Amino acid sequence: MRQTFPVRLGAAEESLIAQLKAAGATQAAERVTVAGLPTRRVEAYHYTDLKTLLRAIPPLAQAANEATGTALRVPGAYALSIVNGAVLGAATAPEGIKVGKTQGGVLTNRDDVIVSVSNALAKETLSLDLKGAVEQVVQIDHRIEGEAGHVADATKIFVADDSSAVILETFSGSDAAHVGNHATYLALGRNAVVTHVTIDLSTRATSHFATNEYHLADGAQLRTLVIHAGAGLARTHLFPRMAGEGAHADVTGLNLVSDGQHSDITMETQHAVPHTSSQPLFKSITRGRSKAVVQGKLIVARDAQKTDAKFMHQGLMLSDDAEILSKPELEIYADDVVCGHGSTCGKLDEDSLFYLLSRGIPKAEAETMLVRGFIAELIDPIEDEALNEALQGIVDNWLLGDK
């Protein structure tokens, strides 16, 4: 239920409203004015209360001419960059890849502040058309450069019928209190096979928001992997839509959370037609005083019979002070479906650790092996060797990094 009395607006909301008004997005501005940023009373933000967590919105980022670096280089990848919201001139695209620029937002409008801000503020849109078996990994390197800035960028990707591609999006930037709002719309044609990996490697000072919308036509196969390993506050909202018969999505994600961080992966999958399946599998590893959130909602339409979907979240706590929060939701309107959800949470298994120690492996190395083992299910299916290695490297760096 929408609140009818006016909410008290904080500094973050005031700046956001001013930015929306300046961009001519009256409706979006009005919405923030009336409702404010979502609190824990808004179900989708129950564990990620933006009113408390997001205290300031920096000014809209100035245009930047170049990226000062990249967080991740994958050998052999075809890389494009979006810096402070602007698509930078791309090198000649390999066969099967068409790069273009359009204007405006890419997300379907919904009752969500991150989505409405994205649609209101995203100016330049990177558009990619992929056709045939695209061999090279396509990397979109998102950077926020300079002083603390608010950036909304948008990407629209079409993968043609019977085509295949591996798409990597990386997010990083200068060490400042940026707020990034990144939107990706990815449409898979009939029988298209796509792997989409997004990795947040921003600095701790950054607040990272990403919204990924997927549209799967008949027989399309999608594997997604979201990794949060950077920003102090990170939230990725996934909206897969299983729109064609025989479509299947492995929707996966990993929160790597250290002291002081808050990471949230929230998914809402629509099974819109009969005979579709999805396998959402998320893992969270926490240490120090930190918080990881995974919410997964499966919506099965009235005539989407034979839907097969199971949501799973597994948490691994490396400290006693961390919190792992899990919320599955099923909204099923069809009567002949197999849907389920599960959630587990625990520490490293003492017996497994002792077994490795007893073979001469020192404790730190044994723990690393067990953590890698814990997430192998997510990383192993990424077949591109260079990308797989890069992902393994991110996990190893996290394990070696500040607690």
How far, CA to CA in Å, does 73 sit from each of 29, 64, 69, 235, 387? 38, 21, 10, 23, 9
Enter the DSSP assignment of 107: S
Residues 199-238 that bind other proteins (CB under 8 A): none
Alpha helix (H) ranges present in 23-174?
A: 26-35, 50-53, 113-121
Q: Tell me the closest approach of the beta carbon of residue 60 to other proteins, in angstroms.
A: 43
User: Which one of 373, 381, 393, 401 is in contact with other proteins (CB under 8 A)?
Assistant: 373
In sequence order, the 6+-apart residues with CB closer than 8 A to the CB of 169 are: 139, 140, 141, 142, 155, 182, 184, 196, 197, 198, 199
Specify the residue, 82 or 371, whose C-beta has the smaller distance to other proteins. Answer: 371
Give first-to-last CA distance, the chain, whole Å.
40
Each residue 340-359 as x (binds other proteins by CB under 8 A) or -, in order, gives ---------xxxx-xxxxxx
User: Which one of 273, 375, 387, 391 is in contact with other proteins (CB under 8 A)?
Assistant: 375
User: Which one of 363, 385, 397, 401 is in contact with other proteins (CB under 8 A)?
Assistant: 363
Q: Tell me the closest approach of the beta carbon of residue 29 to other proteins, in angstroms.
A: 48
Looking at 61-69, 337-345, 366-374, 394-402, which segment touches other proteins (CB under 8 A)? Answer: 366-374
Cα-Cα-Cα-Cα torsion 89, 94, 96, 99, nearest 10 degrees, comes to: 0
Answer yes or no whether residue 361 interacts with other proteins by CB under 8 A: yes
Q: Tell me the closest approach of the beta carbon of residue 399 to other proteins, in angstroms.
A: 14
User: Which one of 52, 333, 376, 381 is in contact with other proteins (CB under 8 A)?
Assistant: 376
Count of residues engaged in binding other proteins, rule: CB under 8 A: 24
Looking at 25-33, 97-105, 202-210, 371-379, which segment touches other proteins (CB under 8 A)? Answer: 371-379
Answer yes or no whether residue 321 interacts with other proteins by CB under 8 A: no
Beta bridge partners of 325: 293
Specify the residue, 279 or 305, whose C-beta has the smaller distance to other proteins. Answer: 279
Answer yes or no whether residue 318 interacts with other proteins by CB under 8 A: no
Residue among 200, 143, 207 nearest 173 (CA): 143
Unique residue bearing structure tokens 């961390």: 322
DSSP output for 296-323: EEEEE-TT-TT-EEEEEEEEEESSSS-E
Q: Tell me the closest approach of the beta carbon of residue 357 to other proteins, in angstroms.
A: 4
